Amino acid sequence: MVANVGRLRRHLTPFNIIAGLILAVGLVLTVLRFGFGLGAVTNLDDANPWGLWIGFDILCGVALAAGGFTIATTVHIFRVKRFEAIVRPAVLTGFLGYLFVTVGLLFDLGRPWRVVNPIIGHVGPSSVMFEVGWCVFLYLLVLFLEFSPAALEWLGWKRVRGWAVKLTIVLSVAGMVLSTLHQSSLGSLFLLTPGRLHPLWYSPYVPVFFFVSAIAAGLAMVIFEGWLTHRFFPDKIAHDAASRAHFDSLTLGLGKAAAVVLFAYFGVKVLGVAGDNHWALLASPWGMWFLVELIGFVALPCALFTWGYRNQSVKAVRIAAVLTVLGIVLNRLNVSVIAFGWSAADPYVPSWMEIGTSIAIVTTGVVIFRWIVQRMPILTPHPDYPRH
């Protein structure tokens, strides 16, 4: 009896209590959504068929999960082995990100069982959704197979694990190709909305914007996730001076790469404004908001990444990573929600239940990530399978 009480107290941590409350509310909202339809929980209508679940759960989720293919490509294709220690956390983050992107899509679809339509051929091959559907489906499978060696080591299935490891290069190539295709194709969806999306965000270069910014988001998310795991899972990570120095070196290296990508992203965004000759719009209220995104969440973190790398400041790189993650979220919400339908007389505003559902989905992903990291060889190698 005393042992059971003690075990219960150990589980009643602030994280578990808050996560439990969020998931309980999320369960109620899920029942309302699938029991009574979209109208019971959302402010979506025929004039505003896309809302927070598309903008945040899907577009942000796909971008922030790009660290999986970015790091796997760097290590397994370009053979930059110094980043090998962070491949598994990055792939796990990517796998869970895409898994819950699919969950978010099920919430958003009026008839969720039709999620397979692009796969089974009910959407024409000339449709952007056909390409996006197939790429996301295949890439989710690729991420599952890339993650499988860790799960197989945990299960003790040595022979199957050996087969999975042999697929590493093939899976990395497939992941790079599929990610390149669907990251840009998600931007292509908005090429169909020149009258709905504000001119400062609408551009023929939207697919390029989405792809380049996704790489920056992936790098920033790996830095941010690595910082959190080292802080909240100290028992899973070596904390000697050599290990800390190595981790700081990896963080600075990722920061250097992120600075280069953000610089390129800033450049193509400016070219987008110049190409459409929208300079005059920058003086409008919407122009001020555009500059907040461009300067505050692209130029500023780019400068911080550069300064942090040059001065070997890990703290500056981490701050820049947080700003980059927030900036990508802001950009995707601007494109899909805030600046989408900017001239509408009755603009869409998400209901609290839409927001609550999104928070519950993210919390579920965090809980599962925590459960896996505490049990499987993600942050440190399994003693029977040392990494070289």
Domain range list for the chain: 193-345
Residue 364: per-residue pLDDT:
97
Q: What are the Cα distances from residue 256, in Å, to 87, 208, 251, 336?
A: 18, 21, 9, 30
The pTM is what? 0.93
DSSP state of 75: I
Residue 287: per-residue pLDDT:
97
Q: Which residue has the higher pLDDT, 330 or 193?
A: 330
Rounded to 10 degrees, the C-alpha dihedral 325/330/335/339 comes to -170
Q: Which two tokens stand for residue 37?
A: 């339809």
Give the span between the Cα atoms of 239 and 98, in whole angstroms: 31
User: Worst-scoring range by mean pLDDT, 13-27, 120-134, 265-279?
Assistant: 120-134
User: Worst-scoring range by mean pLDDT, 182-191, 297-306, 314-323, 350-359?
Assistant: 182-191
The answer, yes or no, to whether residue 327 has pLDDT greater than 60, is yes
Residue 192: per-residue pLDDT:
87
Q: Which residue has the higher pLDDT, 381 or 142?
A: 142
Tell me: the pLDDT tens digits for 273-294? 999 899 999 999 999 999 999 9
Q: Please answer whether residues 371 and 365 qualify as being in contact, where contact means their C-beta atoms are separated by less than 8 angstroms.
A: no
The answer, yes or no, to whether residue 197 has pLDDT greater than 90, is yes
Tell me: the pLDDT tens digits for 292-315? 999 999 999 999 999 999 999 999
Tell me: the pLDDT tens digits for 224-268? 999 999 888 888 777 667 778 889 999 999 999 999 999 999 999
Residue 111: per-residue pLDDT:
87
User: Worst-scoring range by mean pLDDT, 7-11, 161-165, 232-236, 322-326?
Assistant: 7-11
Q: Which two tokens stand for residue 123?
A: 């959407």
Rounded to 10 degrees, the C-alpha dihedral 178/184/187/191 comes to -110
Tell me: the pLDDT tens digits for 43-53? 998 888 889 99
Residue 199: per-residue pLDDT:
95
Give the span between the Cα atoms of 276 and 273, in whole angstroms: 6
Q: What are the Cα distances from residue 298, in Å, to 44, 211, 269, 342?
A: 31, 15, 10, 22
Tell me: the pLDDT tens digits for 113-129? 888 887 776 666 767 77
Tell me: the pLDDT tens digits for 213-227? 999 999 999 999 999
- Beta-ladder partners of 197: 340
